[in-house]
Amino acid sequence: MPTTIADALRELTRSVMGRPGVSGTAIGERRGRPCLLVYLSDAKASRSLPKSVEGYPVVAETTGPFERR
């Protein structure tokens, strides 16, 4: 059975959350195709991200840290 993007997101989240500079993960779209987003508080953290997970491209976006309210 093919892996869904939600399954790929769970795998990505488990592997990157907790790393320095990583603020969060999400499902997104780039050029009309689904992708996995990694939100970064530090652009340097993108160096250690996978290029893809289960065939879905991983896209880094530097946003700064997230705050809970």
Q: Which domains does the chain have, with CATH numbers?
A: 5-62 (3.30.300)
Q: What is the pLDDT of residue 2?
A: 58
HSE at residue 67, side-chain half, CA atoms within 13 A, is 1
Q: What is the pLDDT of residue 42?
A: 92
Q: What percent of the chain has pLDDT over 70?
A: 97
1, pLDDT greater than 60:
no
Average pLDDT, the chain: 92
Q: What is the pLDDT of residue 29?
A: 97
Q: 2 or 16: whose pLDDT is higher?
A: 16
* Mean pLDDT value of segment 57-69: 86
Residue whose C-alpha is closest to residue 9's, from 23, 30, 29, 26: 26
